[in-house]
Amino acid sequence: MPRHLQSLLASPRNCSNAGQTSPPPNANMAAANAQIGIATAAYYPNLTLSAQGGFESSALQSLMTWPSRFWSVGPSISETIFDAGLRRATVNQFVAVYNADVAAYRQTVLIAFQQVEDNLAAVRILSKQIQQQEQAVQSANNFSPSPKLVMKRAWTPSSTSSSLRPRS
């Protein structure tokens, strides 16, 4: 394969499948990689910061006064202590999906390279056939007289009649 074609084929491309319902294979890999990150994040505790505010009073007439307002701010941390291996299984599941997507993408790329190589071979074979046909035409033109000359020699008009007769 010529060097310039190798570099063009190996250059990164946007694998968009316009008009198709399924996303391109590299998008599947990116989504699977993100799912691995999300599943791995489940190992860490959840931290929640919350704030509340409002008014509180036992009497309706003092509800909107300044001393009846309240507020609170506080963090909350939660962690699952025992999940019977659910997090690890989830991470392993998404790793398997990612590996399957990588294998599918690799297969897609290999098929694309095979098709390009097949078409380059076909171009090479067809161009060689064209050259051989052109050489055959050239050889035929060089070694045989033109069709007009052959017809001129084969038939001559008769001096006594207007019909054509073979020359002897």
Can you spell out the DSSP letters for 50-67? EEEEEE--SSGGGTTSGG
pLDDT digits (tens, 9 = 90+) for 35-70: 999 999 999 999 999 999 888 888 887 778 878 888
Strand partners, 71: 53
Between CA 25 and CA 32, with CA 29 as vertex, the angle to 5 degrees is 135
The DSSP output letter for 19 is: T
Q: Per-domain residue ranges for the chain? A: 24-166
Per the CB < 8 A criterion, the answer to whether 50 and 76 are in contact is: yes
Strand partners, 157: 164
pLDDT digits (tens, 9 = 90+) for 83-141: 999 999 999 999 999 999 999 999 999 999 999 999 999 999 999 999 999 999 988 88
Burial of 121 (0-12, 13-18, 19+ CB in 10 A): exposed
pTM for the full predicted model:
0.54
